[in-house]
Amino acid sequence: MSSKAPQRLHLVFGGELVDPSRSEFKDVSKIHIVGIFPNYASAHAAWKAEAQRTVDDAHTRYFIAHLHRLRDEESAASSTEMLGA
């Protein structure tokens, strides 16, 4: 058994929103997946680069999703597993 800390994966994604005041994408099929990153620092750097690249477009927004929070290794069934039950 490894004594390594668990991975803390983060997904950076974004795209055009229906309305800049809401987090609803105009076309889900056009969401830009920037990538999955091994820690928050690298995810934040990628998010910041995309946010700065699209700063002039008020309808485009990028997000960081904490993938490690979707699966809790300490519990018998995570909330994502329970959705299929």
Contact 17, 26 (CB under 8 A): yes
Give pLDDT tens digits along the chain (85 positions): 555 767 789 999 999 999 999 999 999 999 999 999 999 999 999 999 999 999 999 999 999 999 988 765 555 554 544 444 4
Backbone torsions φ then ψ of 65, nearest 5 degrees: -105, 130
CATH of 10-74, one of 3.40.440.10, 3.30.70.2400, 3.40.50.12500, 3.40.1010.10: 3.30.70.2400
State how far Cα 56 lies from the chain centre. 22
Nearest to 47 by CA among 4, 16, 79, 14: 14
Q: What is the DSSP string of 50-78?
A: HHHHTTT-TTEEEEEEEGGGT--TTSSS-
pTM, 2 dp: 0.75
The domain ranges of the chain are 10-74
| Distance between CA atoms of residues 84 and 4, nearest Å | 30
What pLDDT shows up at residue 69?
82
